[in-house]
């Protein structure tokens, strides 16, 4: 269990933040509010005192270095941290991870724990892409021995995993099949021979979140997702082959089955159109229901309902179902990756050592027990663009990893690096067992396209030794490194805060994007 | 009413996309918002024809909710039908006019689609949803304005 107490205030000088308020009036119109004044707590912590804005029930707590905080000036994310602090039942603090940036309702990189008794659930605190997450697959192969094969692997992976706008598997799941996926998650693949027992053991929640209720998933959501199981999607989702180019913690890397020079497969995607529609549907439902529950929120995208209300239960059932769809999706892609390797290299996935390291979500709500004000308290932890990071010894960490802590994956951008880490005790002390999830953008898509107008991004990546396959070449400019924060700084801050411990750094060799 | 009075422009956003649409009347505003969303999703050749029509029926208690429903219905249709939007036509939009802010509002429309793999269509983005973030429908002296952000 984690421990959260009402912390004493520490004043080291204020920081003021500006930017749009994010507040919405009855017709959705916004109005300006006084800029927030932040207090610096230490090198990696900043506080928004609850007195800053009417209705804040707890402080805001932001994990950021000077350079990351400089990026946040003028970003609505800080106002969103303050808004989240108004949610009924919130305990501890409204948290922002080092990669925090502008989201909808909650900031991306936002974490909030809501008391189970008398608290609310807010779909905006999970996000539209329910159970967007990352999965790491190790291999027994090195980058050196695979060198002659990377182009063919890139082509095989690109052909095997539908990606991009409008990606489809070419057939629609029947209603019965879809119900099974929504109930069973990654376990649905076990019966079909496209998952192993180890895959299930090394997936958060065993690849299946309890409480799923397919009846709470609308027809629209089902229609959107029916032909998307096994697809990558678009935007910042990806399938990569990376090399482990630096090990920071050799004993932990050994437990994870990682070594320097090793090739790994990295998958980032979520619940596709099904999950997106679930969030949209239930935001609308809760928006209509809030007045009846006596709830008022400063941002309509924070629409919420009591956990024990009809609307709350309906959303939780649908969210679990969508989360299960996402795990089934990543498992289907895993099966496709293994098949591509087998076809190109002429050996079985088992012979190639293609085993799952772990699969972890970064958009989800979980019922967990944490220490709040000295007492064990059941809370609903909302993680939006934030990763669970339980430390060594926690019973929810798979037994095979319990000695080192739960694996955490922090993807960077396609031109630089990503990190493998494990959860650390500091996460339980102050962030409800949570940490960051990625790099976060600094440039808009249009700005990135303008900046790279005369640049052949694919060639630039090729010159750096990175093979790219993309459905839409223009996407490469949108997703280029200059559009993203440096994930190394994000991870440094998270480690400095005691939330995680770095294990290895990964560098991309093959990038598949939608 | 002059089509020149209907406009839309993109709004900056670090990760996603937004737009502001303006039009002389509410039905035209919702059509213009549909056009803004359509251009965000796909490049469609001006000569490309509709190959499928879908009916949309929405009810809402306020204009912002109606806008939320309308934009998300279009996003769902694009995803489900694997298509781009060629045109939207608002047949009916009923409800109180300002200064009354609350509805109910009723919208009935037809949406012309063209398959994503048909000639003259190039898909650009696949929005997850339209959001309530800064979503507004406002009446100004010159007409109506809608502001919206889409999660890409």
CA gap A20, A440 in Å, rounded: 19
- A288 in contact with B, Cβ within 8 Å: yes
CA distance B150 to A277: 13
- CB contacts, 8 Å: A474 with chain B: 124
Q: Furthest-apart CA pair in chain A: how many Å?
A: 64
The pair of structure tokens assigned to B104 is: 């109910």
Is the CB of B129 less than 8 angstroms away from the CB of A27?
A: no
Q: Which residues of B touch A33 (CB under 8 A)?
A: none
Dihedral angle sign, alpha carbons of residues A411, A417, A422, A424: negative
Tell me the two tokens of residue B60: 């809402």
Q: Cα(first)–Cα(last) distance of chain A, in Å?
A: 39
**Interface check A363 vs B, CB under 8 A:** no
Alpha carbon of B33 to those of A466, B18, B79: distances in Å? 40, 11, 18
Residues 94-133 of B with CB under 8 A from A: 101-102, 116, 123-126, 128-133
Are B136 and A28 in contact (CB < 8 Å)? yes
C-alpha to C-alpha distance for A402 and A51, rounded to whole angstroms = 41
Judging contacts by C-beta atoms under 8 Å, the chain B residues touching residue A128 are: 128-129, 151
Cα A202 from Cα A397, distance rounded (Å) = 9
Other Cβ atoms within 10 Å of A70 Cβ, number: 10
| DSSP structural state of residue A188 | G
Q: Is B81 within 8 Å of chain A by CB?
A: no
Residues 6+ apart with CB under 8 A from A98: A44, A63, A64, A65, A68, A109, A436, A489, A490, A491, A493, A494, A497
Angle CA A46–A50–A55, to nearest 5 = 140
CB contact under 8 A, B79 and A273: yes
Percent of residues in chain A assigned helix, strand, coil, to nearest 5: 35, 25, 40
In DSSP terms, A45 is beta-bridged to A42, A63
CA distance A129 to chain B (A): 8
The count of CB pairs under 8 A between chains A and B is 125
Q: Which residues contact A200 (CB under 8 A, 6 or more apart)?
A: A186, A187, A190, A206, A207
**Chain A contact for B138 (CB, 8 A cutoff):** yes
Cβ of residue A129 closer than 8 Å to a chain B Cβ: yes
Q: B135 — contact with chain A (CB < 8 Å)?
A: yes
Are B137 and A27 an interchain contact pair (Cβ–Cβ within 8 Å)? yes
State the number of CA atoms in the 13 A half-sphere of A350 facing the CB.
4
Q: Residues 6 or more apart from A506 whose CB is under 8 A from it?
A: A242, A243, A244, A245, A264, A266, A417, A418, A419, A420
Q: Cβ of B72 and A300 within 8 Å?
A: no
Assigned token pair, A171: 């057939």
Asked if B15's CB is within 8 angstroms of A165's CB, the reply is no
For residue A99, the 8-state DSSP code is: E
Q: State the best of A19, A28, A219, A385 to mutate against chain B, taking most chain B CBs within 10 Å.
A: A28
**Interface predicted TM-score of the whole assembly (ipTM), two decimals:** 0.94
Q: 10-residue block means of pLDDT along chain A (514 residues)?
A: 35 34 36 82 97 96 96 90 98 97 94 97 97 98 97 97 89 96 97 95 98 98 96 92 98 98 98 98 96 96 97 98 98 98 98 98 98 96 98 98 98 94 97 95 84 90 93 83 92 98 98 90
Q: Please give the C-alpha separations between residue B76 and each of A157, A391, B110, in angstroms, as whole numbers.
A: 28, 40, 14
All residues of chain A having their beta carbon less than 8 Å from the beta carbon of residue B102 are 26
Cβ of residue A128 closer than 8 Å to a chain B Cβ: yes
| B149 contacts chain A (CB < 8 A) | yes
Which residues on B lie below 8 Å from A472 (Cβ)? Answer: 123-124
The answer, for B15 touching chain A at a CB cutoff of 8 Å, is: yes
Cis peptide before A509 (omega within 30 of 0): no
Beta strands B121-123 and B42-44: pairing type? antiparallel
Beta strand ranges found along A221-280 (DSSP E): 238-247, 262-269
**Chain B: nearest CA to A444, how far in angstroms?**
4
Question: What pTM value is reported for the model?
Answer: 0.94
Question: Distance (Å) from the C-alpha of residue B25 to the closest C-alpha of chain A?
Answer: 17
Give me the tens of pLDDT residue by residue for chain B, a chain 152 residues long: 445 589 999 987 777 889 999 999 999 999 999 999 999 999 999 999 999 999 999 999 999 999 999 999 999 999 999 999 999 999 999 998 766 667 799 999 999 999 999 999 998 889 999 999 999 999 988 799 999 999 98
Annotated catalytic sites of A, by residue? 437
Check CB contact of B61 with chain A, cutoff 8 Å. Answer: yes
What is the DSSP secondary structure assignment for residue A172, as one 8-state letter?
Answer: P
User: In this complex, which of A224, A303, A447 lies closest to B79 when CB atoms are compared?
Assistant: A224
Q: Report the gap between the CA of A105 and the closest CA in chain B (Å).
A: 7
Each residue of B8-45: pLDDT tens digit? 999 877 778 899 999 999 999 999 999 999 999 999 99
B9 touches chain A (CB under 8 A): no
Nearest to A101 among B14, B63, B130 (CB): B14
Q: Tell me the three state secondary structure of residue A116.
A: coil
Helix, strand, coil % in chain B, rounded to nearest 5: 25, 45, 30
């Amino acid at each position: 269990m984690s421990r959260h107490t009402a912390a004493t205030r520490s004043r080291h000088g204020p920081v003021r933040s500006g930017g749009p308020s994010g507040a919405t009036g009855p017709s959705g119109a916004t109005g300006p509010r006084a800029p927030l004044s932040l207090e610096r707590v230490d090198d990696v912590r900043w506080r928004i005192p609850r007195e800053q804005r009417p209705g804040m029930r707890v402080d805001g707590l932001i994990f950021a270095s000077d350079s990351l905080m400089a990026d946040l000036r003028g970003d609505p994310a800080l106002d969103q941290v303050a808004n989240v602090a108004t949610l009924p039942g919130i305990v501890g603090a409204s948290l922002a991870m080092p990669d925090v940036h502008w989201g909808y309702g909650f900031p991306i990189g936002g974490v909030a724990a809501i008391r189970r008794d008398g608290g609310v659930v807010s779909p905006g605190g999970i996000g539209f892409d329910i159970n967007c997450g990352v999965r790491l697959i190790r291999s027994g192969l090195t980058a050196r021995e695979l060198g002659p094969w990377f182009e063919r692997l890139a082509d095989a992976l690109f052909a095997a995993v539908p990606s991009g706008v409008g990606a489809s598997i070419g057939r629609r799941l029947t209603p019965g099949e879809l119900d099974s996926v929504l109930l069973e998650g990654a376990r649905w693949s076990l019966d079909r021979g496209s998952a192993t027992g180890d895959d299930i053991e090394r997936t958060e929640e065993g690849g299946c979140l309890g409480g799923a209720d397919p009846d709470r998933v609308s027809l629209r959501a089902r229609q959107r997702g029916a032909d998307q199981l096994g697809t990558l999607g678009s935007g910042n989702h990806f399938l990569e082959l990376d090399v482990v180019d630096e090990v920071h913690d050799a004993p932990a890397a050994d437990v994870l089955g990682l070594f320097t020079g090793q090739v790994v497969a990295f998958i980032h995607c979520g619940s596709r159109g099904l999950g997106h529609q679930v969030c949209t549907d239930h935001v609308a439902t809760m928006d209509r229901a809030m007045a009846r529950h006596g709830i008022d929120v400063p941002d309509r995208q924070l629409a919420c309902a009591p956990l024990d209300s009809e609307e709350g239960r309906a959303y939780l059932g649908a969210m679990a179902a969508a989360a299960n769809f996402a795990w089934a999706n990543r498992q289907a892609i895993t099966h496709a990756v293994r098949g591509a390797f087998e076809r190109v290299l002429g050996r079985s996935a088992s012979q190639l050592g293609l085993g799952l390291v772990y699969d972890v979500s970064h958009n989800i709500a979980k019922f967990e027990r944490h220490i709040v004000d000295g007492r064990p308290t059941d809370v609903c932890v909302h993680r939006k663009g934030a990763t669970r990071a339980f430390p060594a010894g926690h019973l929810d960490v798979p037994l095979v990893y319990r000695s080192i802590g739960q694996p955490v994956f922090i993807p960077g951008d396609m031109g630089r690096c990503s990190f493998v880490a494990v959860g650390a005790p500091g996460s339980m002390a102050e962030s409800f067992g949570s940490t960051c999830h990625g790099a976060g953008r600094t440039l808009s898509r249009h700005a990135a396209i303008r900046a790279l107008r005369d640049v052949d991004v694919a060639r630039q990546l090729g010159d750096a030794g990175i093979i790219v396959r993309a459905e839409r070449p223009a996407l490469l400019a949108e997703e280029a490194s200059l559009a993203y924060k440096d994930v190394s700084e994000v991870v440094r801050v998270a480690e400095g805060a005691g939330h995680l411990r770095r294990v290895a750094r990964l560098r991309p060799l093959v990038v598949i994007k939608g | 009413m002059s089509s020149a009075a209907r406009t839309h422009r993109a709004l900056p956003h670090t990760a996603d996309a937004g737009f502001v649409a303006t039009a002389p009347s509410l039905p035209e505003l919702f059509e213009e918002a549909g056009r803004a969303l359509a251009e965000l999703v796909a490049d469609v050749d001006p000569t490309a024809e509709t190959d499928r029509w879908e009916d949309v029926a929405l009810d809402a208690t306020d204009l912002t909710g109606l806008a939320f429903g309308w934009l998300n219905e279009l996003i769902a249709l694009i995803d489900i039908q694997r298509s781009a939007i060629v045109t939207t036509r608002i047949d009916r939009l009923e409800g109180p006019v300002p200064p009354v802010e609350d509805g109910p509002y009723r919208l009935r429309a037809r949406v012309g689609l063209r398959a994503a793999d048909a000639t003259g269509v190039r898909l650009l983005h696949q929005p997850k949803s339209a959001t309530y973030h800064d979503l507004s429908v406002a009446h100004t002296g010159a007409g109506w304005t809608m502001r919206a952000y889409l999660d890409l």
